[in-house]
Structure 1
Amino acid sequence: SCVYLLLSIVNKGTNITQQLNLTLFLIQETEGNLYVHSFYRNKDQLGLQDQYFRNRTSLFKDQISRGNASLQLTGVEVQDQDRYRCYTNTIRGEESSFINLKVDAPVSKVKILRVENRIICSSEGIYPEPDLTWSTRPPSNLTLQNQTSIQQTEQQLYNISSSLILSDSETDLIYIFRNEETHSVSSALILFQLVCREMEIVSFEDSGHTLQS
């Protein structure tokens, strides 16, 4: 799952002075405006902060006078993906801007398991919804008989599992995770001589990783 996200709101790169009034709130068409964080009179003002964001927000107070009004949002969940409005009021005047927050939980750990004549590839806690395909090395005309299932958790993350019937040919396999929305690709090579073992590995976002024993 997501651990934290640094949400850059404003960065002027110039002196703002100490009198910075910052109000940030979440725009939701169905439930109204949820206040995320407020700062004015040189301190946090969290009386209107929605409980959902309690103890999850902080500013870099030592950098505010230099123009950095970035907000750090921790414990990020899929539900945080939304449009945010940032309102600032300084001696320069008032400004209002919008930020579309996108949440990404990429493939981090992949489990490879052999059960009888099938090899199973699975991963959990992914967002957005991934796609998993198989190929061979070297490329061949071999028909790969696979079944893939995807489940969404209460946290709106995705768990994916794909099983492949092993062929009689001694062929190395490649699993490929793709996400069309984030344009990310994660893959690994499974050597034929290792498919008889149960393995757990970390998958990297490249196309040249070899799964080791």
Structure 2
Amino acid sequence: MLWVLLCVLEALVASFEVSVPHKHLVAIRDRPAVLGCIFTPDPNFSSLVVTWQRQEDSRVVHSFYYQQDQLDRQSPEYHNRTSLYISELGKGNASLKIAAVRPKDTGWYICIVSNDKGTERALLEVTYGALYSEPRLSIHVNSQTVTVQFETEGFPKPEVSWLGEQGQNLSHHLELYDQTEDGLYSMKSSYEVQKPAIKVTFMLKNHLLSQNLQRPVKISYDDAAKRQVIIAVVVLSILCFLLFIGFFFLTVWRRKK
């Protein structure tokens, strides 16, 4: 009889399970993230306790018991940013929604669920990423070369390359990185090319978010046309000067006459 009772208890315990559909979640900057967590539901909803914590320091992210949210012990950085799907709890859905994801939200989370069937937990990791902004182009010209530069912000550090006119990889390009106050990488990438013609392509890849940017740049210089323009300007200037001198002498001659 005791053996039968132990088997029944073991079966009851084994029947309760907490799991996460995805053990790794990529959260995008300023967008909401849903941390999935499901469990074996129990008809006695009043006994349900759901707690989300950070693994590294046990900070409370969100708590639910006595059939309502209990946020007195919630970590301050999550105030007014988290919610459960209350109507789905009775169906075994303990997923957590975090609004407007920030860089500090990255890390490991524990979903802990308790009811009359038992207490179990599951782990998932959140990785943070930010799409790179539209690259801003600037061009710096001197007597012999032209420097083409793109500037953009995102996260994490991207893979950057420059391609030549035939699609070949160009070396010796320069990247400068800085981090903004909200944790983004501010990047400037530049490539110096010789005149008279410029045709290069800037490429950026954010592998975490599968973002690929390609921005071609084409600049043409016609030195012969440039010289013709300069000559025309000089000739026009000389003609204007001669006309001015002629008008001056004509005015003086009339006065004397």
TM-score range, shorter chain: 0.7 to 0.9
Q: Does the Cα contact within 8 Å between 1:137 and 1:173 map onto a contact in 2?
A: yes
Q: Does 1:138 align with 2:138?
A: no
Opposite residue 166 of structure 1, the aligned amino acid is V
Q: Does the Cα contact within 8 Å between 1:56 and 1:73 map onto a contact in 2?
A: yes
Distance (whole Å) between structure 2 residues aligned to residue 171 and residue 185 of structure 1? 26
Q: Does 1:33 align with 2:58?
A: yes
Opposite residue 37 of structure 1, the aligned amino acid is H
Q: Cα offset for 1:156?
A: 2.2
Q: Cα offset for 1:185?
A: 4.6
* SS of residue in 2 equivalent to 1:63: helix
Opposite residue 6 of structure 1, the aligned amino acid is A
In structure 1, the residue matched to 2:185 is: 158
TM-score between both structures, scaled by the size of structure 1: 0.77
In structure 2, the residue matched to 1:188 is: 214
Distance (whole Å) between structure 2 residues aligned to residue 2 and residue 175 of structure 1? 24
Q: Does 1:120 align with 2:146?
A: no
Task: Note closer, same or farther for the CA distance 1:43–1:192 as it changes in structure 2 (3 Å cut).
Answer: same
Q: How does 1:20-169 map to 2 (within 5 A)?
A: 20-28=48-56, 32-116=57-141, 117-124=146-153, 126-140=154-168, 145-168=172-195
Distance (whole Å) between structure 1 residues aligned to residue 164 and residue 42 of structure 2? 58
Q: Does the Cα contact within 8 Å between 1:172 and 1:189 map onto a contact in 2?
A: no
Deviations 1:53-107 (A, max 9, x none): 1111011112222222111111311111111111001233211111111111122
Distance (whole Å) between structure 2 residues aligned to residue 70 and residue 190 of structure 1? 44
Task: Note closer, same or farther for the CA distance 1:64–1:108 as it changes in structure 2 (3 Å cut).
Answer: farther
Gaps of 5+ in 2: 1-27, 221-257
Task: Note closer, same or farther for the CA distance 1:103–1:140 as it changes in structure 2 (3 Å cut).
Answer: closer
Distance (whole Å) between structure 2 residues aligned to residue 105 and residue 146 of structure 1? 24
Instruction: State the superposition RMSD in angstroms.
Output: 2.4
Q: Does the Cα contact within 8 Å between 1:25 and 1:35 map onto a contact in 2?
A: yes
Q: Cα offset for 1:51?
A: 0.8
**Greater relative contact order (Cα 8 A, min sep 6): structure 1 or 2?**
1
* SS of residue in 2 equivalent to 1:76: coil
Q: Cα offset for 1:191?
A: 4.2
Distance (whole Å) between structure 1 residues aligned to residue 209 and residue 35 of structure 2? 22
Opposite residue 159 of structure 1, the aligned amino acid is S
Deviations 1:6-25 (A, max 9, x none): 2323135x754433210111
Distance (whole Å) between structure 2 residues aligned to residue 11 and residue 170 of structure 1? 60
